[in-house]
Chain A
Amino acid sequence: MLARTPPPAAAPKAAVSAVEMGARQREISVSEFFTKNRHLLGFDNPRKALLTCVKEAVDNALDASEEAGILPDVVVTVEVAPSNGTAPPPASQATRFRVTVTDNGPGIVRQQIPPIFAKLLYGSKFHRLRMSRGQQGIGISAAGMYAQLTTGKPVQITSRTGARAAAHYFEVSIDTKTNEPRIFENKKIEWEHPRGTQVTLEIDGRYQKGRASVDEYLEQVAIANPHVDLVYHTPEGDTRKYPRTIHELPPQPREIKPHPYGIEFGVLLRMLHDTRSHALAGFLAGDFSRVSPVLAQEICKTAGLSPNARPRNIHGEEAEALYKAIQATKIMAPPSNCISPIGERAILHGLYKQIKGEFYTAVTRPPAVYRGNPFIIEAGLAYGKGPDQAAATANAPAVPLAEGEQQDDGGELARVIRYANRVPLLYQQSACATFKAALETAWRNYGIAQSRGALPAGPMVVFVHMASVWVPFTSESKEAIADYDEIRKEIKLALQECGRRLGVFLRKRERAKSEFRRRNIFELYIEEVVEACARLKGGKLAKDKLKTQLQKIAAKRTGGSRTDEILGRDSGPEGLPHSIIVTPDGPEGEAPALPGADVAPPEEAAAEAAGPPPARPKGKAHPATPPKKAKRPAAAAKHPVTAARRSTTASKRKKR
């Protein structure tokens, strides 16, 4: 301010007139905006970009198939893009990939193909309140834009709407200035599929296994969508199959009108402006859910407005009064038939199919509401190492432990897998309401170790799904669920129920184990004592006699046959609804038949009478003598979402 001599040369440069500025001011196209801000859509880095492309294409395929009532068959192929002439680098080194997703969905009519794949914010899902994976109409076109940006290759689409229609092949890209599609190729082709859509994107990316990888994503898709038949060709040339285990589609979610509690003031203004109703009361009753004509009159009265006022004419203070009146009126919670939860049975099947464990359970909560949006929380648990792994531990060669060594389980923490509308969420775990709820749940009450502020410890996978017409994500790239109190509370309730069931299972197993150990201890020690006595006696001892005598005493002391009984029935999903328990004899509970499981040969358990070492899984159920505890399958629920089903004993043995 007080500069002694302002440099005269600087003055003219700084002065820009409003006219000049005005000349520079112009509209920003959405496409341009997202080109610069691609991290907002999940294209932060090459690794994540590859995942996002796969994810968007798969989401679209599933949404379309389900909406058309078709059981989805999806084939995902990720391959290293051929680089002109030279041999392609190995998948872990490659930087350019070609992603192809093929579905058996309804197909897309010819004229809609270009805008769907090459126009941002174009789609069928944004303007309705209905549960679907995609919400905004950005995803696949953003992926296409990313492809265009990094490799310059257009998106290739083949689609066919039915066996009698022709298959159309398109190559399109976005004009980033106008946000309009540019069509490079458009022709009819021969296609082996009678119906469906195939999208191919060529992008810069990195293929890395492990956390938040394409592999993990597809595995989690398979867990939450057991009605999908998924085939994944990895960049390394493997083929992973995730066969369908549930052969009916989840019920179609219905579209609903917005609930008055869920809208913001600006939205209300827009709705007032856009409505086709001529009277305020009619607008309220007609454009919102759960507002009856009587209730509409009441709201008008509270707001001090005439029920017959023209909605278009309400703005300013009147509109504000109306908004307040709506918030002040008691309105029934929104209907929940717009949400289609996965269902306990399907979650169980999904977990059982993909995760090795000993115990599985699933809970679907009744619908709840946040900010006028109905939602349903579902949780599941898979616990334990699974019979194969457990067998590997038990049968591992007995390496004697040195002083100070201990047998440990590695101290791993539980893994949380998160879903929103059946879509796995892989990033920003710690920002997510589900993760926070999992931390807050007092797992120790259920017999699981948990250190302060950490996830529970143990071989455990925690599954959380939020289904809603509008899932509140923390960002556009849909990575974490926002932390609304109502949501977190529901998640916690669901997790607590899962925890309770796990607690029951663990306690039961612990009891049986300690009984077993007691027995086992004596058997081990008798051996030692007899040997030592024989040596003390200078070898002049009838060892077998002494051993038999001691064993007899041991059996008497540990309850003999009573213990056998306890051991024989050490577990079983008694009293645990929607759970699967995997015992050495095979799974109990609502376990689905795993395709290909019958290949495993049933091993015979030999050392039964002599006293087997603890918890050595004995392969599969003995085909000749089904264990006495086998429960007859009760009428297995037809519908995956009959929450009220009393299915405590409904169990279906896995067929081997």
Chain B
Amino acid sequence: MAKAKTPGTVEKKLIGVADTVITAADRSKDPTLTIPVRSLANVNFNEKRGIIELGKRKQARTFFNVGMAKKFMQTVLVADALSELQRANLTTSLREIYYRTKHTMKGSHENTFDNQNESDPLIEDLEVSLAALREELHVRAENAGSIVGPVVFGDDGDRVDCARLGKGGYSVPSIVEPEYIEIRRCTADFVLLVEKGTQWNRLSEDKFWRRYNCVLLTGNGQPPRGVRRLARRLHEDYRIPVYVLVDNDPWGYYIYSVVKQGSINLAFESERMAIPKAKFIGLSSADPDRYGLPRNVGIKLNDKDISRARELLKYRWFQKKHWQDEIKRMLGSGLKYELDALANKDFRYLTKTYLPRKLKEEDWLD
């Protein structure tokens, strides 16, 4: 880890922002930061590697442009705050960065930042343009994930055995890079990433992981970076497959695709977060039939669901025939199903019947 006196690489990169300003000023040029564009238009799906990559389009953020001046100034302020973190070797949250950089500008009523929505994207901008990961910038998100299973971590020198943490499991920190979290041992056969905390609880309570020797992981909805990164590390370091269990609706499909190929907004992170070999274990639109779920536990697709599903159909990473069929089948039935709906058959249907059968039949989508 980077220590006090000699600036680390990340810190050097941050200081580079100041250098950009100084050099430009020396040459009487408008100081300009080049920032890759983060939007759907600027992401490519790399078929060979199976991940979403950031395109080459860049935007120039110049200081002496009325529209961009404030953002430029804010970017420099955020860079300053981040480098302060580096020097002090602290980690912090997005919100704290916002508060740290917020002040009234001298001789005016104007604040540097009016709300957090202004500072958050700038941090992502810096991540991308400096090619530094958020963790490397020492910025963490909230802990929003849980893990339980036969895996042992070293966290700040503490030994965390996730097999001995009851049904609550271990709360996945937002930064899980090797220098923060060490995976000491993992004997699991696979990782099961569950969308919903409720279903993760059900599996954990039923000790599903013990019976099937797996790691149970959840991100409570869209999995945060920490959870995705941890799944990737387990997958990579211990060569175990990752299965994704989500609701049967367009958002579930998208969560799976984020885990597998990476997200559009954080396309620059796919490189180290995406798990191209992750499998979609359920809930598939074919399951209601196959498992005899009655029609009345389905929910009618609303307009938003339908338009989202149509968008998914167009994404390049959903072009495989079985995926087109899967999504079209959902649209055809006009219904979506929650994982919780399995309780209609039995409280432990997920643990006792559904997952065992899926695993046995290797009934998953790639």
Contacts and interface: CB of A to CB of B under 8 A. Distances in A.
Binding between chains A and B: yes
Interface of A: 398-401, 403-404, 407, 518, 520-522, 524-525, 527-529, 532-533, 535-537, 541, 546, 549-550, 552-554, 556-557, 613
Contacts of B70: 521, 525
B296 interface: no
B25 interface: yes
Given A398-B109, A549-B28, A521 B66 contact: yes
A294 to B, nearest CB: 72
Interface stretch (B79-87, B133-141, B330-338): B79-87
B5 to A, nearest CB: 11
B66 A546 contact: no
B14 A529 contact: no
B300 to A, nearest CB: 37
Contacts of B30: 553, 557
B22 A546 contact: yes
Contacts of B18: 532-533, 536-537, 541
B106 interface: yes
Interface residues of B, number: 37
A328 B73 CA distance: 77
Given A398-B109, A527-B106, A541-B22, A553 B77 contact: no
Given A532-B76, A536-B79, A557-B30, 9 more contacts: A401-B104, A524-B105, A527-B106, A528-B112, A529-B31, A537-B18, A550-B21, A556-B28, A613-B108
B104 A398 contact: yes
Interface string B288-299: 000000000000
19 contacts: A398-B104, A398-B107, A400-B103, A400-B104, A401-B114, A403-B115, A521-B70, A528-B73, A528-B77, A529-B63, A532-B79, A532-B80, A533-B22, A536-B17, A537-B15, A546-B22, A549-B26, A550-B25, A557-B30
Given A524-B108, A524-B110, A536 B77 contact: no
B59 interface: no
A520 B69 CA distance: 11
Interface string B92-114: 00000000000111111111101
Nearest to A398: B109
B76 A404 contact: no
A76 B77 CA distance: 64
Interface of B: 14-15, 17-18, 21-22, 25-26, 28-31, 63-64, 66, 69-70, 72-73, 76-77, 79-80, 83-84, 103-112, 114-115
A556 B25 CA distance: 13
Nearest to A519: B66
A401 B111 contact: yes
Contacts of A532: 18, 73, 76-77, 79-80
Contacts of B109: 398-401, 407
B105 A536 contact: no
4 nearest A-B pairs in the assembled complex, by CB-CB distance: A536-B18, A549-B25, A533-B18, A525-B73
B75 to A, nearest CB: 9
Contact of B76 (A518, A520, A533, A556): A533
B17 A525 contact: no
Contacts of A613: 107-108
A400 B26 CA distance: 34
Nearest to B112: A528
A143 to B, nearest CB: 52
Contacts of A537: 15, 18, 22
A263 B112 CA distance: 71
Contacts of B108: 398, 520, 524, 613
Contacts of B28: 549, 552-553, 556
Nearest to A518: B66
A542 to B, nearest CB: 9
A401 B111 CA distance: 7
B21 A533 contact: yes
Nearest to A401: B111
Contacts of B110: 524
B66 to A, nearest CB: 5
